[in-house]
A and B are shown apart, each in its own frame.
Chain A
């Protein structure tokens, strides 16, 4: 059995930009697909709660009327591959107005006007002329703007962006993230950015969750984590990426070894085989519990925790 996500808790405040960071296979996408109830069989959600505006979404049928009225409307998602997430045989007009009709009951002339307004908001030039274009008429960056227009069409409370710009060029990436950040301010949406790019996190997120092997290993405000990372994995991630503002002579410090295989993981800290700071306790005890570093900064690591205690003494 693969426990793709295990015991993960996070919260997203109103108008907040939160980021979930981790490498491929760490469970960051699966956590958010679970929120959207988009987990495909044989995968299943075996426990937990998803509280959205006071209701537990796990009480609803995955394809029931409640979930359908929330998914895409109140919680919207932008995926990594804008080509595969748009329907290639429908025009942008059809795809955008379908959403408006289903969720908001806006049809006909009013829907057209709103579709054009949404596209302009997402930064598509000459929006009214492009309504009857098909997805293949658009460039990668423009397709992702169409996705953004669709995602915000029903004024969602939360916008989840799963590696939204990974497939795009850096200058396009900067344009799109600016659009998304403006959305948060203009529409009062909360934004969740799922990414492996620590630079994006530093630039845009207010709070972050660092995930490793299906668990959150550290969480806190962006400034607190970057100025004083506590978990050895977070420390490792920050040291292994080349930074523009560093001299060439500064060698990168790679994280040794490979990410673990999630099949039948033992109940030990999953980072243990790669950890430069492992101590005896790590081998003997199960996954470490969360320790509070400050008001809003928590991590789970025995070695760092005991180092802390020694400082206190």
Chain B
């Protein structure tokens, strides 16, 4: 593969995912939930893009659409240079080998009736990646080692593992077919704090070891996202409000929602906390069934002007690699 530094592993253009709301026996469509609306981003080779937002903002739906687990309502998904948005199922299957998903809940995402070794090796069988039984065994063993599990535990069942170990099994399964993109959907939020660090470090070291691996890291915890990601996109009610380098996002957040989100996350240091800006937002996230007109954030925004309720702000370039959707910036 001719992998140059500037090549994008994934490019999402104008992604739209609308879910119908139906009523009655005939399931007549009465409304639409715009779960994802006009979302565009790129993930470069070897890059981690963080997708952050509160519950219901559409971040998981973006991840699902990327893998075409949902059929998007509109937009283009370009993976490794191929537009896969209209691929038929059979053709999609070959591409899917190169993308994997790691789930939030390490308890329900592993089949309780299969031994860990079989769970990890299943993708290899499905995609017929091994020529012989011996090669299969070697590869499963190598995958166990790669995620820090003892291959001697291959015959154990998921219930015999702790939460952190299960998440390692999930990662080994994701790595089985040597993907170029792993979508991690809240991979550490179900784990205890002392275990979270182990998994975060594992994700980091895997990326150092495997050339050409990119992550789409979806989480609600901005401190975790910032630590893991090279760039971060902030979502609110189905749209990206700000996207930039993760360090820039922390040092120079421009969108008022990003500023409020950052200030809402306490830092574990009482001396730092004393000096921090404390923005308390008004109200709650509105329903995506009936989103506000204009900028979706304006009813809660502390910088809003009358204009904000009329015009829908476009995501525009502020400077190189920093895009914001706000007319007040």
A is bound by B: yes
Is A238 part of the binding interface, using a Cβ–Cβ cutoff of 8 Å?
yes
Bitwise, A39-65 to B at CB < 8 A (1) or not (0) is 000000000000000000000000000
Contact between chains at B247 and A248 (CB < 8 Å) = yes
Q: Give A197's nearest chain B residue, CB to CB.
A: B266
A259 to B163, CA, bound (A): 12
Interface size on B, residues (CB 8 A): 46
Q: Does A199 contact B (CB under 8 A)?
A: yes
Chain B 165-194, CB within 8 Å of chain A: the 1/0 string? 000000000000000000000000000111
Inter-chain contact B265/A170, CB cutoff 8 Å: yes
| Cα–Cα distance between A24 and B196 once the two chains are bound (Å) | 13
Q: How far is the CA of A197 from the CA of B224 in the complex (A)?
A: 13
Complex contacts, A175 vs chain B, CB 8 Å: 280-281
How near does chain A come to B282, taking the closest CB pair, in angstroms? 9
- B226 x A248 contact (CB < 8 A): yes
A12 CB to nearest chain B CB (Å)? 19
Which residues of A lie under 8 Å from residue B265 when comparing CB positions?
A: 170, 199, 244
B63 adjacent to chain A (CB < 8 Å): no
Contact A254 B198 (CB under 8 A): yes
Q: Using a CB-CB cutoff of 8 Å, which residues 150-174 of chain A contact chain B?
A: 169-174
Assess the B260–A171 pair: CB atoms within 8 A.
yes
Set A170, A203, A223: member contacting B54, Cβ < 8 A = A170
A17-28 Cβ-contact flags toward B at 8 Å (1 or 0): 000000110000
Q: Considering only CB atoms, which chain B residue lies closest to A258 in the complex? A: B162
Q: How far is the CA of A244 from the CA of B266 in the complex (A)?
A: 9
Interface string of A186-210 (1 = CB under 8 A from B): 0000000000111111111000000
> Digit string of A201-231 for contact with B (CB within 8 Å is 1, else 0)?
1111000000000000000001100110000
Give every chain A residue within 8 A of B192 (Cβ-Cβ): 23-24, 196, 259
From B197, B200, B281, residue with most partner A Cβ within 10 Å: B197
Considering only residues 93-131 of chain A, those with a C-beta below 8 Å from chain B are: 125
Contact B194 A248 (CB under 8 A): no
Q: A174 to B280, Cβ gap below 8 A?
A: yes
Roughly how many angstroms separate A175 CA and B261 CA in the complex, as a whole number?
12
B142 within 8 A of A: no
Q: Which B residues lie within 8 Å of A202 (CB)? A: 266-270, 272-273
Q: With A23-B192, A170-B261, A251-B204 in contact, do A245 and B267 touch (Cβ < 8 Å)?
A: yes
Contact indicator B284/A223 (Cβ below 8 Å): no
Q: Binary interface profile of B, 106-131, with partner A (CB < 8 Å = 1, else 0)?
A: 00000000000000000000000000
Whether, in the assembled complex, A9 has its beta carbon less than 8 Å from a beta carbon of chain B, the answer is no
**Residue of A125, A222, A258 with highest tally of chain B CB at under 10 A:** A258
CB-based contact B194/A240 at 8 Å = yes
**Complex formed: what's the CA distance from A227 to B274 in Å?**
14
Residue-wise interface mask of B (247-260) relative to A, using a CB-CB cutoff of 8 A (1 in contact, 0 not)? 10010000000001
- Chain A residues with CB below 8 A from B22, complex form: none
B281 touches A171 (CB 8 A): yes
Per-residue contact bits, chain A 242-254, to B (CB 8 Å; 1 contact, 0 not) = 1111111001111
Closest Cβ neighbor of A200 among chain B residues: B266
Chain A residues near B278: list those with CB within 8 A: 174
Q: Is the CB of B268 within 8 A of A201?
A: yes
Closest CB of chain A to B279's CB: distance in Å?
8
Inter-chain contacts of B195 with A (CB < 8 A): 254, 258
B246 at the interface (CB under 8 A from A): yes
How far does the Cβ of A115 sit from chain B's closest Cβ, in whole Å?
A: 21
Instruction: Name B83-126 residues within 8 Å CB distance of A.
Output: none
Give the residue of B201, B224, B264, B284 whose beta carbon is less than 8 angstroms from that of A251: B201
Contact of A242 with B284 in the complex, beta carbons under 8 Å: no
Q: When the two chains form the complex, which single residue of A125, A171, A203, A255 contacts B273, counting CB atoms closer than 8 Å?
A: A203
In chain A, what residue has the closest Cβ to B224?
A: A242
Chain B positions within 8 Å of A227 at CB level: 271
Name the residue of chain B whose CB is nearest to the CB of A203.
B266
Q: Contacts of B226 on A, CB cut-off 8 Å?
A: 242, 244, 248
B266 lies within 8 A of A242 (CB): no
Q: From A125, A141, A199, A251, give the contact of B268 (CB < 8 A).
A: A199
Could you tell me the distance in whole angstroms from the C-beta of B75 to the nearest C-beta in chain A?
A: 26
Task: Verify if B58 is at the interface (C-beta below 8 Å from A).
Answer: no
Q: For the complex, what is the distance from the CA of A180 to the CA of B270, rounded to whole Å?
A: 18
Q: Which residue of A lies closest to B194 (CB)?
A: A255
CB-based nearest B residue for A26: B192
Q: Is B137 an interface residue (CB 8 A)?
A: no
Q: How far is the CA of A24 from the CA of B281 in the complex (A)?
A: 30
Q: Let me know if A171 and B54 touch, CB within 8 A.
A: yes
Whether B158 sits at the interface, judged by CB under 8 Å, is no
* Complex contact A244–B281 (CB within 8 A): no
Query: What's the least CB distance linking B280 to chain A, in Å?
Result: 6
The answer to whether A23 and B220 touch across the interface, beta carbons within 8 angstroms, is no
CA separation between A310 and B55, bound complex, in Å? 52
Q: Check B261–A240 contact: CB distance below 8 A.
A: no
A247 to B246, CA, bound (A): 10
Q: How far apart are A56's CB and chain B's nearest CB, in angstroms?
A: 33
User: Which one of A169, A244, A253 contacts B55 once the chains associate, using CB atoms below 8 Å?
Assistant: A169
> In the complex, what residues of B have CB within 8 A of residue A236's CB?
194
Residues 208-251 of B, flagged 1 when their CB comes within 8 A of A and 0 if not, give 00000000000011111011101000000000000000110010
Bound complex: CA A95 to CA B190 (Å) = 32
Within residues 29 to 81 of chain B, which ones have a CB less than 8 A from any CB in chain A?
54-55
A243 touches B268 (CB 8 A): yes
Beta-carbon contact of A226 and B269 below 8 Å: yes
**A178 at the A/B interface (Cβ < 8 Å)?**
yes
- Beyond A200-B266, A245-B267, whether A169 also contacts B54 by CB under 8 A is yes
Q: Which residues of A contact B268 (CB under 8 A)?
A: 198-199, 201-202, 226, 238, 241, 243
8 intermolecular pairs with C-beta atoms under 8 Å apart: A23-B194, A169-B220, A174-B281, A198-B268, A222-B270, A241-B196, A244-B250, A258-B164
